[in-house]
Structure 1
Amino acid sequence: MRHGPLICGLLLLAGCGLGRPDVTRLDEASIGAADGPPQAPPGTCWSRDETPAIIETVTEETGRQIQRIVVERREVWFETVCEGAMPPDFIASIQRALAARGLYRGPADGEANAGTRAAIRAFQAPLGLNSSVLSLVAAQELGLAPKAAPA
């Protein structure tokens, strides 16, 4: 059964199941379909990142304005940490790891606040991901998830 742990895993920093009203929930628009991409292996958890197209308006010599797509819309599926509801101590570990890298300035209180989500987004940006949902690759880079053994 993938859906219960999957939803909680995708809501990693949303405090899924914690029942704490002071914890900010993730923007659910950034969370993809519950089953992940078609090729997703069973038992894995996924989210998706959508980057909108960039369109520019150009004025031709005749004075007519046209619009053209500069960067195509992009949808990227990424694997997430999938261990059910992440307890506050795991979120605090994320906060400490991000603070050590100069990305998070708040207390390591285990609350998924806006600062935590912004720090996750900033950490993942160089990895090509514009999401506040912690990817498995980012968790591995932070030393919070085991890396897969080479094939």
Structure 2
Amino acid sequence: MTPQRRRPEQMIRPPLLAAVLASSLAACSAPAPADDPWPDIDAPRPERLADGTCQAREVTPAVYEHVMGEVQVVQAEIAEDGTVLRPPVYRRAPVPRVVTPREELIFASPCPEEFTTEFVSTVQRALAARGVFRGSVTGRLDAPTTAAIRRWQTERGLPSGQLSLETARALGIVATPLDQVESL
């Protein structure tokens, strides 16, 4: 029995097959909701307090370096009367040292339900008008947006990529209570 040969037009080509499979698999994935401004599920979000206000929390982990130090490998042997029977034994080894301690910033923030695509688009346009945001207005808290927020707030003493209530008020996006408005 001789093997049958297929004509080229009858053969399924691997690149074409791969493209068809990839497009069909892409259709199976669930699209991100259009009204969710947080594209990253793990992105920090403001939390609501008992009084109805919201706060954001920015945690900066500690930075360590290894320096040479002495590490105790054998404990001292001490008699009941307090005399040292055998002194402790040490050896030189790398030990961690804190370069920058852990820091936690807590500040007032607009509440999560205020972060609509329209609100985030307004933040993006306000930062673009001030020359800080150079990305596309997407209505999402993506990397360029949080970088622009961080840049703007760091210049004003708050090193965070999460929008503070003070920044939102300064940008004219959130109303300022009358008792906090400076008189002219």
What amino acid maps onto 2:149 in structure 1? I
Q: Is the 8 A contact 1:31 1:49 kept in 2?
A: no
Query: Which residue of the partner structure matches residue 44 of structure 1?
Result: 53
Match of 1:73 among 97, 102, 115: 102
Query: Which residue of the partner structure matches residue 33 of structure 2?
Result: 19
In 2: Cα distance, 1:22 partner to 1:88 partner: 7
Equivalent residue runs for 1:67-146 within 5 Å: 67-82=96-111, 84-126=113-155, 127-131=157-161, 133-146=162-175
In 2: Cα distance, 1:44 partner to 1:101 partner: 28
Residue aligned with 2:66, SS? strand
Match of 2:42 among 10, 14, 28: 28
Residue aligned with 2:154, SS? helix
Q: CA deviation at 1:47?
A: 1.9
- Provide the identity percentage: 33
Query: Which residue of the partner structure matches residue 53 of structure 1?
Result: 62
| Of 115-124 and 78-87, the range deviating more from structure 2 | 78-87
In 1: Cα distance, 2:54 partner to 2:38 partner: 21
TM-score normalised to structure 1 length? 0.65
Q: Which has the larger share of strand? A: 2
In 1: Cα distance, 2:109 partner to 2:176 partner: 13
* Structure with max Cα Rg: 2
Residue aligned with 1:68, SS? strand
| Greater RCO (CA < 8 Å, at least 6 residues apart) | 1
TM-score normalised to structure 2 length? 0.55
Aligned length: 128
Residue aligned with 1:28, SS? coil
Structure 2, unaligned stretches of length 5 or more?
Answer: 1-31, 70-90
Structure 1, unaligned stretches of length 5 or more?
Answer: 1-17
Residue aligned with 2:146, SS? helix
Query: Which residue of the partner structure matches residue 12 of structure 1?
Result: none
| Cα distance change of structure 1 residues 27 and 118 upon mapping to structure 2, 3 Å threshold | farther
Q: CA deviation at 1:121?
A: 2.2
Query: Which residue of the partner structure matches residue 7 of structure 1?
Result: none
